[in-house]
Amino acid sequence: MAVIFDIITATLLLTVTLYGVLLVWRNWQESRMATAYFGEEIRLLNEQIERQQQLSQVAVNTARDAWDGFRKFELRGKVLEADGICSFYFAPHDGRPLPPFYPGQYLTFSIKLPNEDKPLIRCYSLSDSPNHPDYYRVTIKREVAPRDNPDAPDGKSSTYFHRVLNPDDIIDIKAPSGHFYLNPEQQNPVVLIGGGIGITPVLSMLNTITAGGSSNREVWFFYGARDGSEIVMKDHFQQIAREHPNVRMNICLSRPRPEDQPGTDFDHQGRVSVELFKQLLPSNNFDYYICGPAPLMDSLTTDLYDWGVPKEKVHFEAFGPATVKSVRDAEADTTAAEAEKPVTIHLKRSKKDISWTNQAGSILDCAEAAGASLESGCRAGNCGACELAVVEGSVTYLSDPGAPVADGSCLACVAIPEGNLVIDA
Ligand SMILES: Cc1cc2nc3c(=O)[nH]c(=O)nc-3n(C[C@H](O)[C@H](O)[C@H](O)COP(=O)(O)OP(=O)(O)OC[C@H]3O[C@@H](n4cnc5c(N)ncnc54)[C@H](O)[C@@H]3O)c2cc1C
């Protein structure tokens, strides 16, 4: 009897144990399937949360560490990147932390040249990602006299950076600013286009996307130059192309040298063009970020609009006044800009009248052509050096100012009059 009882107990115990094991195994299987099913979503969600946290941190750090006016920086390193192009690494002289910035923004420098009473103001784009809290990097091309005017002086600021500024020298820099930037928080697919030295802001965007570890954002990168001697950081671009399958690297040389090897040194012969985009991109549905010389910006923006890309998806930055003029938005032109008859700009302090027509360019260009001397800096609406009070009348802009403008004032380098005007100059 006892034996039968033992057998029944053992059988019951075995059944319960087996049932328990079965339950545990089923739960494990279900959670494995759920993990496999939701794993990708959870990973993406985690990535988004992490990015959001990083961005909130960026905003907090920017507010905490930003500074007003100019701050002293030391040149820590100078690296030759290509013929006539150097990178400069600056660390704050006060040793305090640096605020982060948005990739695409620029620094404004105040340069004290020997034998000049006024400092020279120039803007240079940050060329690395903001993931380096101890330094800012800019990459500068030395501007030489134009081919059609070889006797003209070389570029003042770029020559100073290349020839005069040495490690440990101190220079004054304004905090990062500018509206041409990529939002690292978003995941929308982008086409980044840099022509010549215009590579710098889009390089910062590329480095930010790849350094942030985002492997999902689709990036098409186009770098246009004349030949291989003008390409900066080739190894860096090649490494990004190898390590980040989400980045499609395209180097375009318009006039490659015999030693520039297709497939190794460059991907396409010719200029960066919308024709090339049509061959390569799966659709036109991207946000486009463009910086380069005037003809490139002009043709790309026009052709992108013709291809049906909405204006709000085409973002560009000008490095100088010529570019600003050539990409001006026709819709923003005013009655005055279209008018044939001249309007009068009265310079109140100099007691001078100048005549402006739509051929005269900005108020600054027009005043200088008439022999007046106005304060100016970047000549692209970015540094704020040419801000003037408008006493009577109103202005509109050839391109949106990058620097804040006080009510009742204007940035003369990108402003044009809407009718007769009196300015405090
Ligand atoms: C937002 C922004 C970002 C920028 N980012 C970068 C960047 O990342 N990297 C970069 O390299 N640049 C950048 N620039 C351009 C930069 O600010 C300067 O404009 C550039 O370095 C030239 O300045 P410069 O003082 O050397 O030349 P300037 O002295 O202003 O001279 C400009 C050109 O005019 C020529 N010139 C001078 N005098 C005469 C004359 N009498 N007749 C005919 N020609 C003459 C010079 O030889 C030179 O080629 C940026 C500009 C802006 C607005």
Mean of the pLDDT values across residues 259-285?
A: 97
Atom of ligand 1 nearest to the CA of 122: 17
184 in a domain, yes or no?
no
Q: What pLDDT was estimated at residue 327?
A: 44
Q: Which of 65, 82, 104 is the last residue of a domain?
A: 65
CA distances (Å), origin 27, targets 17, 40, 320: 15, 20, 65
> Which of 143, 156, 232 for mutating ligand 1's site (highest number of atoms within 8 Å of CB)?
143
Distance, CA of 213 to CA of 240 (rounded, Å): 12
**C-alpha of 37 from chain center:** 38
In eight-state DSSP terms, residue 126 is B
User: What pLDDT band is residue 374 in, cutting at 50, 70 and 90?
Assistant: confident
79 and 60 belong to one structural domain: no
CATH of the domain at 128: 2.40.30.10
61 and 100 belong to one structural domain: no
CATH of the domain at 375: 3.10.20.30
Tokens 């704050």 -> residue: 92
**Structure confidence by residue, pLDDT tens digits, 153-205:** 999 999 999 999 999 999 999 999 888 899 998 999 999 999 999 999 999 99
> Which of 81, 112, 122, 386 for mutating ligand 1's site (highest number of atoms within 8 Å of CB)?
122
**C-alpha of 57 from chain center:** 21
pTM for the whole structure: 0.79
Residue-averaged pLDDT of the chain = 86
**Structure confidence by residue, pLDDT tens digits, 389-408:** 999 999 999 877 867 799 99
11 and 124 belong to one structural domain: no
Q: Which residues line ligand 1 (CB under 6 A)?
A: 106, 122-125, 138-141, 143-146, 149, 152-158, 197, 200, 319-320, 378, 380, 382
Which domain does 383 fall in, by range? 331-423
102 in a domain, yes or no?
yes
185 in a domain, yes or no?
no
> Which of 128, 160, 319, 362 for mutating ligand 1's site (highest number of atoms within 8 Å of CB)?
319
Q: Which of 177, 203, 222 is the last residue of a domain?
A: 177
As for how many domains the chain has, the answer is: 4
Task: Answer whether 345's CB lies under 8 Å from 421's CB.
Answer: yes
236 and 350 belong to one structural domain: no
Q: Is the dihedral of CA 250, 256, 261, 265 positive or negative?
A: negative
Contacts 24+ apart (CB under 8 A), 348-354: 348/391, 348/422, 348/423, 348/424, 348/425, 349/424, 349/425, 350/425
Atom of ligand 1 nearest to the CA of 124: 5
CATH of the domain at 251: 3.40.50.80
* Nearest Cα to Cα of residue 405 among 390, 422, 425: 390
77 and 169 belong to one structural domain: yes
40 in a domain, yes or no?
yes
